Structure 1
Amino acid sequence: MALKDLMIRAGNACEFCGAADGLAVAEADPIGELLLCPACRGAQEVPADHWRCLEGAAWTAEPAVQLAVWRKLGTLDAAWAVEAREGMTLLPEVQAIADQPAAVEHRDSNGTLLAQGDTVVLIKDLVVKGANFTAKRGTSVRKISLVADNPGQIEGRVEDQRIIILTEFVKKS
């Protein structure tokens, strides 16, 4: 959507807080775009109570804004934010996106993305609890499995034992 069209839709104001200065387009993938001020885009520090504006923005009929508000409320660690998010009535197309589980990315100690079946190398000696051995630094672990609900863990076979390994102690080879 063109900036001009967004400005008209938003009434020349941030679609979260209503501020008029420094407005720019922000993405609400995969549903569309919205218009946000620098504070709401995260370009500057704001006091925690700034985000109370989301309680009002949650009532919008615009799908992109609804999705962005729902996502932002999910990042806030305040009781009012949890309550506001749980109380939102989402449009069907927004609800479909919200119901999709978040993709879990597994990254090694260098930040490289790991995939099922990759080979990794241990970067530290690891004492394997319950197996009475130490997996030595430099050990290659082939055909790893990703722990579906924990981005900090992978599974692999070391000395014929299936073990869970923290991703912070491996690098992709």
Structure 2
Amino acid sequence: MSLQQDLENRSGNKCELCTSTANLSVYDVKPTITGGGGVDGSVLACETCITQIDNPEETDANHWRCLNDSMWSEYRGVKVVAWRMLSRLRAEGWPQDLLDMMYLEDDDLRFAKESGDHLDDSEKIIHRDANGAILEAGDSVVLIKDLKVKGSSLVAKQGTAVRRISLDHENAKFIEGKVGPTQIVIITDYVKKMADKE
């Protein structure tokens, strides 16, 4: 059975966030590297919800009053998205009331915080590549310079692709990723974001 079918069966063919039945598709909760993707880290969601999750400037706060119900879901992906959207909208007042009632296990809360939606804009650390493009967890980058890896004889060559990066949440200049079998810290000045192939 496909992931889409699994989620359709689980949700009764409804958006797991707002219960709409129109334009449903699988939404992988980012970053997939730390818990998103698969049945547990995905949500069956409508186009309206997905558009607003991915584009904060298009968020209609009233649309998300549906989270009053969906935040109680037993499914990790749904709970994480609900927590992130309520955190993003907490200045409206009512979302903070719902957040105060919501409970997430420690692992789920860590995963939910990966998006930074709970931070004020002034607190957010933005990672940018050498060209100024914003980097997000799970992105792929390419090295634009040979890099000597500290503590080893390895040299990561210019042009090497590093897939599914993770971000350092305390330093905007640092990302992590695997070069061959080795997990290394890379300075963002030496990478360029790769276009998604999806």
> What TM-score does the superposition give when structure 1 sets the normalisation length?
0.57
SS of the counterpart of 2:67?
helix
Structure 2, unmatched stretches of 5+, are 117-123, 136-168, 174-188, 191-198
SS of the counterpart of 2:43?
strand
Higher strand share: 1
Cα deviation, 1:101-134, whole Å, max 9, x if unaligned, reads: 95833437951579xxxxxxxxxxxxxxxxxxxx
> What letter corresponds to residue 82 of structure 1 in structure 2?
Q
RMSD: 3.7
SS of the counterpart of 1:35?
strand
Give 1:35's aligned residue: 44
Retained in 2: the 8 A contact 1:25–1:34? Answer: yes
> What letter corresponds to residue 62 of structure 2 in structure 1?
D
Give 2:73's aligned residue: 60
Q: Which stretch has the larger CA shift, 75-84 or 103-112? A: 103-112
> What TM-score does the superposition give when structure 2 sets the normalisation length?
0.50
Give 1:135's aligned residue: none
Retained in 2: the 8 A contact 1:63–1:91? Answer: no
Higher helix share: 2
Retained in 2: the 8 A contact 1:105–1:113? Answer: yes
> What letter corresponds to residue 51 of structure 2 in structure 1?
G
* Higher alpha-carbon Rg: 1
Retained in 2: the 8 A contact 1:39–1:46? Answer: no
* The one of 69, 79, 91 aligned to 2:105: 91
SS of the counterpart of 1:25?
strand
Q: 1:111 to 1:20 in 2, by over 3 A?
A: same
Give 1:107's aligned residue: 128
* The one of 43, 51, 66 aligned to 2:64: 51
Structure 1, unmatched stretches of 5+, are 115-147, 154-170
1:79, distance to aligned residue in structure 2 (A): 0.8
Structure-2 separation of matches of 1:85 and 1:50: 17
Q: 1:110 to 1:36 in 2, by over 3 A?
A: same
Retained in 1: the 8 A contact 2:26–2:43? Answer: yes
Query: Across the two proteins, how many residue pairs are aligned to each other?
Result: 125
1:71, distance to aligned residue in structure 2 (A): 1.1
Structure-2 separation of matches of 1:35 and 1:47: 19
